[in-house]
Structure 1
Amino acid sequence: MRPTALFQFYRMLSTIALPFAARSAVNKLRRAGISVDRAHERLGHATAQRPLGPLIWVHGASVGEAKSVLPLLSRMRAVSPGTQVLLTSGTATSAEAVAPRLPDGVIHQFSPLDGTGPLNRFLDRWRPDLCVLVESELWPNLLDLCARRDVPIALLNARLSDRSAEGWRNFPATATYVLRGIAWAHCQDRRSRDHLRAMGLSSAEQGTNLKSILGAPRVTAQALDAAHNALGGRPVWVAASTHPGEEGQVLAAHKALLADHPTLCLILVPRHPERADDILTLIRGAGLSVAQRSAGADMSEGAQVYLADTMGETDLWYALSPIVFLGGSFTDVGGHTPFEPAAAHTAILHGPHYANFAEAYAAFQMRDASLQVTDGAALGTAVGDLLTHPSRAAQLAGNARPLAPTGTEALDAIAQRLFSLMDENGMDRHA
């Protein structure tokens, strides 16, 4: 199949833009404290050796995508220890989030940019036998080069918005060319399945959302007891995975709540901890006292806001609080997964914007397992009601808990399908 003129134009533009994109990507990682050598992984320069044996390359762009595949990778390594797994992601926060959770034998690297130079260096070094792209990472050069090298591609937990699907459908010949190497698409919702089938991917199937399949919570009894002791009996609520434009509304809600609940503590968990300085300015500007987790402060200091600007501790905050507001839902970010707080048995509140998890939130609302609020004022009212009526918070939490499955059946089915794609491509995992 010959490349279309539009694809060739994209390749030319990506080649021209690569030096600028490379400088930006490397500098961003360096500013986040990543070493020079590791930052250059974005240019296709590996810092780890390829292990012997068949290798699956799994790519999840950011924190949520990378974390969502960890239970699957653990299961795959348990079922087939001889199969090697390379996990890539593009951000420093994602690397920090997955580092302590990587299953034995899984290697992490930063993903190559979508340019022919970085990709060819990456593919030459790692020689993957299967490429697995998580959620919505459809990069044309990556897809084309894998197809040219006969590396089968699977889309995992695929999500395709109406806008993205419309863009692809406007150029059907280019879509057919770019997507030709995709052997299987596991979709997290019906909408994405239908979009991909309309684009010619007959293998697209709706399956279990990976973000609903949770690994064991990373909370020890000692850590939870220490957090409870630090609170000293103060009431608490959590605002998690917040984005710019949301912290101001959350802080206004908290300030209003303090009138009736003067000892109330807000644990504020931004989606991107590197924004901590900006958020500290907002908190102090609101006239609220603050303690910062990354600076070594704990909740025993009695601050009105506890800024939890560290990675890998969200499970602790969920387990500690009876009420959680999930951010990314007052803005057009598209929402964040409700399954983790559901597993922690906490009442869930969220805003009206959750397109990325539309089917999940529909199920939660149908089961009376979450509350939707329109803005910061409504959030303050809802949190106040739940603090005053803890039995209602417990009811919401109880209704949500069954919606967060932790079984392995779905993981086994996905793993076997991925293994079969390798087998169809001539690989023998047990060689």
Structure 2
Amino acid sequence: MSERWARTILTTYRWLGAAAFPLVGGYIVWRAGKGKEDRTRRHERYGRAGRARPEGPLIWMHAASVGETVAVLGLIDHLLGYGINIVLTTGTVTSAKVAEERLGDRVIHQYVPLDLKPAVSRFLDHWKPDLAIMAESEIWPMTILELGARRVPQVLVNGRLSDRSFASWQKRSYLAEALFENLAHVIAQSELDGERFRALGARPVTVSGNLKGDTGVPPVDKAALEFLEDGIGDRETWAAVSTHEGEETIAADVHVKLKPRHPDLLTIVVPRHPERGDELEQQFKARGLKVGRRSRNDFITPDTDILLGDSIGEMGLYLRLTEVAFVGRSLVQEGGQNPLEPARLGTAVLSGTNVQNFRDAYRRLIDRGGARLVRDGEMLAGGVNYLLNNYKARRAMMQAGLAAVEDMSGALKRTLQALDPYIHPLIVKSRLNGGDDYG
């Protein structure tokens, strides 16, 4: 009965989506007005291709946002080395820019089609992928069903299920099973994630570790680094990175609280959504703080209180300007953000306690002494103050974080091993076609 009910729900979802398709134009235009869609490429969200399909085997790889895009860069590099074409879809303007900067024209980038039958069908009719690889937690019912109907193998890599997502799917386990049975393989980040996917009906499931542990050191523009370092000089610094609404004001309050003890302190704030730059500048100014913005290429003067990192794809720049970093979405919101980038660059990591989405990474960092959790802004101020005042403790955390990240490497190798049965036939096909690339 539950199986029949699941089929009924999915069929209804399919046709409701088809009926709603003509009405979504206004929504996309509204998002474009907010800077959340690329105005010049919004047709791609309806499944309309931006360029021709290349000859030979083709993999559709999807990474929703910046974090997922960075996580699969190493995997993409390996697949390109086999002579296989890749269409990479992402869902945000920022992730599209990261893909352009890090991959250039080695892949074809498209914005992911809306999870509505007309858009997904149009996308698949044009690209005709031989394999679909989705990153992390992207579960789109219509996309999964359409790929399943076309018998295109679907593999979820770096798979993750948050506490909230797992609880939600558990309440609809019949629906989860009807969707997950279409997945050829799930490659999960952790044993806990693997157990959750199995409980929801996914088969087979392999545990690889977190691909973000193999992403390498974030790149940096040396000229930009020298420009900012010239302005900062030997000032003490700390950073609040990947922050969400409410955490920037906490960072500003920490700055005000610590300024009497550290008169030359510079606080670096890097919001998860750089388009909030104007709003944040006004908030900081209302506290009497002088703000330098990266988007304006402001020079950091001795009286600059806040360096506002409102740019895209420059995390490697900001993290090289400090040895202490708070990682956001962990104090005022739940889930956390990736702590591995700051740890990899030798930064002592502080975070709020709401880090469920990166539970395994934080556990390993904390066990090695590379990260500490704080309950609130008061405790954050104390942690920053302690680390700024204690060179040995700071260096010990930095070195422990690096060691923990090294321990977490190897996920890429294990992911490639799990993907081999799906990739090998495409390698053979590519060689038979003469190894054509995009030209």
Provide the TM-score with structure 2 as the length reference. Answer: 0.92
1:64 and 2:64 matched = no
The question of whether the paired residues in 1 share the 8 Å contact of 2:181 and 2:203 is answered with no
Match of 1:261 in 2: 262
Q: 2:46 aligns with which of 4, 18, 43?
A: 43
- Deviations 1:225-267 (Å, cap 9, x if unpaired)? 3332211211111110000121111111111011111111011
Range that drifts further, 146-155 or 228-237: 228-237
Cα 1:253–1:407, aligned 2, differ >3 Å: closer, same or farther? Answer: closer
Alignment of 1:297-376 (within 5 A): 297-300=298-301, 302-376=303-377
Structure 2 equivalent of residue 207 of structure 1: 208
| 1:78-125: CA deviation from partner (whole Å, max 9, x where unpaired) | 2x0x20111111111111222200165211110000000100110011
Task: Label 1:163 to 1:229 Cα distance change in 2 as closer, same or farther (>3 A).
Answer: closer
Report the AA paired with residue 15 of structure 1: A
Where structure 2 has 5 or more consecutive residues not aligned to the other structure, the ranges are 433-439
Deviates more, 1:230-239 or 1:20-29: 20-29
Residue pair 1:115, 1:141 contacting (<8 A) in 2 also = yes
Aligned length: 429
Alignment check: 8 A CA contact 1:152 1:425 kept: no
Residue matched to 2:138 = 137
Q: Distance in 1 between matches of 2:172 and 2:334?
A: 26
Q: Which amino acid is 1:153 matched to?
A: Q
Mapping of 1:88-99 within 5 angstroms? 88-99=89-100
CA contact 2:210–2:411 (8 Å) conserved in 1: no
Correspondence 1:17-416 to 2 at 5 A: 17-29=20-32, 31-32=34-35, 36-78=39-81, 80=82, 82-102=83-103, 105-219=106-220, 221-300=222-301, 302-405=303-406, 410-416=411-417
Partner deviation per Cα, 1:125-157 (whole Å, 9 max, x = no partner): 111111111111111100000000011000011
C-alpha offsets along residues 279-304 of structure 1, whole Å, 9 cap, x if unaligned? Answer: 11210111111111101212236310
CA distance in 1: counterparts of 2:425 and 2:167, whole angstroms = 32
Which residue of structure 1 aligns with residue 435 of structure 2? none
Shift of 1:205: 1.8
How far residue 277 of structure 1 moved from its aligned partner, in angstroms, is 1.3
Structure 1 residues 426 and 373, CA gap change in structure 2 (3 angstroms): closer
Letter of the structure 2 residue corresponding to residue 339 of structure 1: L
Change in Cα spacing, 1:294 to 1:48, as seen in structure 2 (3 Å) is: same
Q: Distance in 1 between matches of 2:39 and 2:314?
A: 27
Residues of 2 paired with 1:371 and 1:337: CA distance?
14
Alignment correspondent of 1:7: 10
The higher relative CO (CA closer than 8 Å, separation ≥ 6) is in 2
Distance 2:427 2:148 in 1: 15
Distance 1:406 1:368 in 2: 13
Question: Does structure 2 retain, via aligned residues, the 8 Å contact 1:339–1:403?
Answer: no
CA distance in 2, matches of 1:350, 1:145: 40
**Percent identity, aligned pairs only?**
35
Moved more, 220-229 or 282-291: 220-229
- Residue 405 of structure 1 and its aligned partner are, at CA, apart by 3.4
In 1, Cα distance between equivalents of 2:190 and 2:29:
34
CA contact (8 A) 1:22 1:42 kept: no
2:436 is matched with which residue? Answer: none
Classify 1:343/1:420 alpha carbon distance in 2 versus 1 (closer, same or farther; 3 Å).
same
Task: Give the letter for the 1:18 counterpart.
Answer: F
Structure 1 stretches of at least 4 aligned residues deviating more than 6 Å after TM superposition: 424-427
Which secondary structure does the structure 1 equivalent of 2:353 belong to?
Answer: coil
The 3-state SS of whatever aligns with 2:349 is strand
- Decide whether the 8 Å contact of 1:324 with 1:347 is kept in 2: yes
Instruction: Give SS of 1:102's match.
Output: helix
The match for 2:437 is: none
* Amino acid across the alignment from 2:278: D
Q: Secondary structure at the match of 1:397?
A: helix
Change (3 A) 1:161 1:410: closer
Structure 2: distance between partners of 1:297 and 1:14 = 47
